[in-house]
Amino acid sequence: MLAEVVGCLRPRPGSVLVDATLGEGGHAQALLKEMGGEGCLIGLDRDAQALQTALERLQGYACLALFHTRFSRLEEVLEELGIATVDGALFDLGVSSLQLEEAERGFSFRQAARLDMRMDAGQELDAWKVVNEYEERELARIIRWYGEERWSARVARGIALARKRSPIDTTDRLAEIVKESIPAAARRTGGHPARRTFQALRMEVNGELRELEQALPQALSALGSGGIMVAISYHSLEDRMVKRFFAARGSRCACPPEAETCECGAGEELRILTPRPMLPSAREIEKNPRARSAKLRAARKR
């Protein structure tokens, strides 16, 4: 949703923007082009490999400050840079294509690899520890909550029984255990039966919802008057968190979208720019099927 992000954030020369999920630098590059070499783009990512890829992609831009860190440290990063306010902040949530496509990262149920799923390879907790060391009841809770898996108890039971025989070391073995744990009739719809379990494990390993819960207030605090926050989510729990955060601090202003200030008296701290989330176009989904579940929400600080 490159055009939508640029359209919402409206970068211009002199802007100070935060890309809290830099990834391979696609959004950052588009924003920097609009900034024309003036201002500053601050990029954060906890994946060192993605950060290096972005650095190579963006090396021609001088107005750049990149940090290998979680976005829940946004406040500390801005303090380190001596920046009091920013004009915009972007969160592109979830797992990146780079992480999914590299089998050795252990994110994908479609490729055999050691169970890992760490966005930051330097952290201690990985998917192997969750799968092999968490109690069965806790596994069921995680799979039910983060994966929204109807058969979470059966999947957790299947994992617990299998790991008694030998540790579950690889993605393909785990995917097979999950498949066997789910009733045959339920496996016929909804894609690969391990998809929701792998999603849940990834979110637990990386503390994704906890990170977002901490980062959203920091981003709002950093925005100057008129500053815009954009969040793209791919999971209903993430989207719900963003939606509720905006709703708790904002309002559906009746002024036209192009208005810089509110004159309708809606009040509150945020003006919600997307009463309904923006969705990717059919053309984008055709080019990138992973975009099909994306939802973009935006709000402007008063």
Q: Which range marks the domain in which residue 64 is found?
A: 2-97+208-301
Of the three residues 175, 206, 237, the one that is the final residue of a domain is 206
Q: What confidence tens digit (pLDDT) does each residue in 211-241 have? A: 999 999 999 999 999 999 999 999 999 999 9
- pLDDT (0 to 100) of residue 266: 57
Q: CATH number, domain at 120?
A: 1.10.150.170
> What are residue 193's phi and psi, to 5 degrees?
-65, -20
107 shares its domain with 202: yes
137 shares its domain with 92: no
Measured CA to CA in angstroms, residue 158 lies from 104, 174, 200, 302 at distances of: 24, 10, 16, 51
50 shares its domain with 187: no
Distance CA 148, CA 169 (A): 24
Of the three residues 188, 206, 224, the one that is the final residue of a domain is 206
Q: Is the Cβ–Cβ distance between 131 and 162 less than 8 Å?
A: no
217 shares its domain with 277: yes
93 shares its domain with 8: yes
Distance CA 187, CA 252 (A): 41
135 shares its domain with 267: no
- pLDDT (0 to 100) of residue 252: 59
- Mean pLDDT over residues 72-81, rounded? 97
Measured CA to CA in angstroms, residue 64 lies from 15, 19, 22, 299 at distances of: 12, 11, 12, 24
- pLDDT (0 to 100) of residue 77: 97
Q: What confidence tens digit (pLDDT) does each residue in 114-163 have? A: 999 999 999 999 999 999 999 999 999 999 999 999 999 999 999 999 99
- pLDDT (0 to 100) of residue 53: 92
Distance CA 202, CA 88 (A): 28
Mean of per-residue pLDDT scores for the chain = 92
> What are residue 91's phi and psi, to 5 degrees?
-125, 115
Q: Which residues contact 15 (CB under 8 A, 6 or more apart)?
A: 31, 35, 39, 40, 87, 88
Distance CA 166, CA 173 (A): 11
198 shares its domain with 215: no
Count up the domains in the chain and report the number. Answer: 2
Distance CA 208, CA 290 (A): 18
223 shares its domain with 281: yes
Residue 28 token pair: 């950052």
174 shares its domain with 252: no
> Global pTM?
0.90
Of the three residues 206, 228, 252, the one that is the final residue of a domain is 206
Task: Reply yes or no on whether the pLDDT at 96 is more than 90.
Answer: no
220 shares its domain with 91: yes
Distance CA 238, CA 21 (A): 14
164 shares its domain with 256: no
Q: CATH number, domain at 49?
A: 3.40.50.150
